[in-house]
Amino acid sequence: MSRNTPLQETPLNRASVRMAISDLVERPEPRTEQQEQQPRPTVESVVIPSMVDSGQSPGFAVNSVSATERKYLGSTSLQVFSQWLDMTFHVSPTGLTSSFQHGMRFCEEMELPEDLYMPPIPADWEAYTAAYFSCVGRFFSVVSRVSITSFAERMQRQDLRALPVRQRPLIATVYACLAIGADSLGHSAQGTCCITAAYSLYAYLVAQPYLPSAQALILICLALRGRNKDGAGSQALGQAIRIIHSLGLHRKLNGYGNPNMEQTELMHLGLRTWWSAYCLDRIMSLETGRPPQIQDEDVDQIRDLHSKGVREVDALQALTTLATIQGSICRHLATIKLPTIAAVLEAQSRLDKALVEWQNELPLELRCDGDITINGPELALPRAFLTIQYHSTMINLHRAALLMDKEIHRTNIARYNLQKSDANRLASSESICANSARAIITAYLQARDMTELSRLQTLTGPLMAIYVLSIVALKNPTSWSTRSDVGLIYSAAEAVEQRYTADGQDPGFYTLLKTLKQFASQNTLSPKGITASRAPTRRTTPLPSNSQYTPQPSSDNQNGSTASAQPNQAYDPNLSDEWDMLFPRLYVGDFALDAGGFEGVDIEHLMGIPQLSFDEPH
C-alpha cells in the first residue's frame, strides 16, 4: 500500500436516521415554588440528520439544553465513544452517555459578574507568576517573565480603571497568568477571582486584535482548561487563532528588515505564541472531535524552535511535532464522510509509525516511557504531560479495535495487503490501547503524588484511560493483567472524581466513573457467555461497488473450502461483511449504530462484548 495513497470516501447506502441516544435527564438546579409549576428544561443527546442528505454524511450527535443551546459532538470525543458502548453494554438505568449531559454547562459556560470586574491583583502575585512559568509556561511560553513582572508591578501601584483602555489586553494577560499560578498553588479562590477578571475584559481583547490580545486569550484558554472547562477554553482559543492569522504569524515573514534586539525578541515571542495556539488547537480538536481551526496547508512558519539552554522551547518543539501528527489523525480518520477500509488501514499504519518515531526521537529528559521523576522533579510534570498526550493520541488512532472482537478483528485485518510489521501492529491495536491506558494512568498518578494541583493536564486523558482499561477488563475477565488493571482503574477513578469535585463539576457527570468501575470489577460482573444458539446472522447485502480496496482471500478460503465464499448457504464465523461495514464507521463515529443498517446482526458477538447484569458496587 503506497504511503501517499489518497483517502477515498465510500457513500453510505442508506439514509441517516434520527434517533435518541438516551433518556431525557433533568437539570439538577434549585427551583422555586413558582418554577415547579412549569415544565422542567431538559438536556438531551440526539442525532441530527445531515442538512442535505447526500447519502455520504451520517447524522451527528449534539448535546441540547434548548433549541438554541446545542453543542456538536465529534467522532473522537469520549461522549460519542460512549454511545457505541451503550449500544452493547445495555447499562441501566440511563447508560454512560447520559452522564455527559450533566457536564455540558460546566464545560462550555463561564459565569461572569454583571459589570466589568477589575479587582486589585493578589498580594502573592509574584508567587503566582513563578508558579505559571515553572510548569504551564514550560510548554506555552506566550509571554515573557520580564514583561509580566513589570506590568504586574505597575498594576499593583495604580487604580486599574485609571489605566489607558488600550492597556486592557495587557491587564487581562496578567490576570490570566496569575489565575493559572494561583490554581497551581491551590489558591482556587484567588484563581477564580483572576480568571473572572481576565474573562470580563474579553470584549477589549476582541476590539483590539493584536498580539497582546492573542496572548491573553491563549492564557485564558489555558486557565479554563486547567479547571476542566475545555469548551469555554476552546472559544477563547478560536478567537486567539483568528487574531494570530490576521497578524500573519502563521507565515514565515520578516517585516522588520534587519531587526534590532527588541524586534528580534518580539518575533520570537510571536513565534512561540503561534505554535502554542497550534498545539492547543490540535490537542483540543482531538479531545472534542470538533474540526481544527488551523490547516497545515496554510502554514509555512518556521517549525524549528530549538534554542540552546531554553528548556521550555524544547518542550514546545516536542509538542509541535506531536500536534502535527494529531492533526493528521483528525484529517484522515475523524472525517465526516465514510472512508474506505484501505484508507483507514493505510492512515493507521503511517500515523502509528510517525508516533513511534516521534517518541524515539524525544530528548531523554522528555521521553514518554518509564518513571516521570527519573530526570528530576522540575521535569516530571512536563514529562507527564507529554506522556499523556502521546498515549492519548495512540489510543485515538487504534481505539476502533476496542469495539471489535479481537479474533474477528485479527482475521479480517489479515485479508488486506499490508506489510507484516504493519499487519502485526494493527492486529494488536487492543493491546496497544491497553498499554497506553496503563501509561496514562501511571503518569497521572505519579504527577498527582508530586502535586495534586497541576493545571497543565486536564482530566480528558485519564478519563479516556479509565474507559479503555474498563473495556479491556470487560472483554478479558480471566486475564492475569486484568487483576492489576482493576487496581489502576480504581485509583485513577478516585483521583479523577476528587479533581472534578474540587473544580465544581456537576456530580451527575462523574457518576459515569461508578459504572466504569463496575465494568472493571470481576466481583460485580455476570457475563453471559455467547453460545452457538446465539450465533450471529450472516448479512447478504453486497458491499458498495465503489469500495476502493481488494481484500485477500481469508484463511477459510485458503483451505480449499467454498463455504465462506457462498454467503447465502453458510455462516461466516469471521463476519467479514459486517466487519467491513462497522470498522470504518467506528472512526467516523458521528452517531452510534444505525439500527436499520445492522438489523439482524449479533452486535455483541461482532464487538466481542458480553451482555451484562449489574449489581451495586461494593
Tell me the CA end-to-end span of the chain in Å, nearest whole number: 51
Query: Whats the size of the chain, residue-wise?
Result: 618
pLDDT above 60 for 7: no
Residue 150 has a pLDDT of: 95
Determine the Cα–Cα distance for residues 369 and 348; give it in Å rounded to an integer: 22
* pLDDT grade for 25, boundaries at 50, 70 and 90: very low
Q: Decide if pLDDT at 617 tops 50.
A: no
Region 532-543: what's the mean pLDDT? 37
Tell me phi and psi for residue 42, to 5 degrees. -125, 160
Instruction: Write out pLDDT tens, residues 219-241.
Output: 999 999 999 999 899 999 999 99
pLDDT at 583 over 70: yes
Q: For residues 418 and 251, what is the distance between their CA atoms, to the nearest angstrom? A: 38
Identify the band that residue 377 occupies on the pLDDT scale cut at 50, 70 and 90. Answer: confident
Residue 611's pLDDT is what? 53
Q: Does 29 score more than 90 pLDDT?
A: no
Mean pLDDT of the region 243-266: 82
Summarize pLDDT for 132-164 with one digit per residue, the tens.
998 899 889 899 999 999 999 999 998 999 999
DSSP secondary structure letters along 192-228: HHHHHHHHHTHHHHHHS-SHHHHHHHHHHHHHHHHTT
Alpha carbon distance 228, 167 (integer Å): 29
Per-residue model confidence (pLDDT) at position 342: 87
pTM above the 0.85 mark? no
pLDDT of residue 63: 59
Convert the pLDDT of each residue in 272-296 to its tens digit: 999 999 999 999 999 888 888 999 8
Q: Write the pLDDT tens digit of every residue in 11-23.
A: 333 222 222 222 2
**360: confidence class by pLDDT, cuts 50, 70, 90:** very high
Are 70 and 63 within 8 A, CB to CB? Answer: yes
Backbone angles phi, psi at 187, to 5 degrees: -95, 70
Q: Which of 35-39, 182-186, 210-214, 261-265 bottoms out in mean pLDDT, i.e. has the lowest? A: 35-39
- Quick one: cell of 351? 500515523
In sequence order, the 6+-apart residues with CB closer than 8 A to the CB of 285 are: 74, 291, 292, 293, 326, 327, 330
pLDDT confidence of 597, banded at 50, 70, 90?
low
Give the separation between CA 439 and CA 386, rounded to whole angstroms. 11
pLDDT above 80 for 311: no
Show the cell assigned to 336.
465526516
Residue 169 in this model has a pLDDT that exceeds 60: yes
CA–CA distance, 492 with 473 (Å, rounded to integer): 15
- Residues 134, 136, 140, 141: what is their CA dihedral angle, to the nearest 10 degrees? -30
When mean pLDDT is compared across 51-65, 103-117, 163-177, the lowest value belongs to: 51-65
pLDDT reading at 57 higher than 80: no
Of 43-52, 194-203, 480-489, the poorest mean pLDDT is in: 43-52
pLDDT of residue 121 exceeding 80, the answer is yes
**Mean predicted confidence (pLDDT) in 392-397:** 94
CA distances from 339 to 346, 424, 583 (A): 11, 22, 10
Q: Looking at residues 49-54, what average pLDDT do you find?
A: 34
For residue 618, pLDDT over 90 is answered with no
Greatest C-alpha distance within the chain: 88
CA separation for the pair 56, 139 (Å, rounded): 40
Using DSSP's 3-state secondary structure scheme, residue 52 falls into coil
**Nearest in space to 468 (alpha carbons), one of 447, 443, 493, 498:** 493
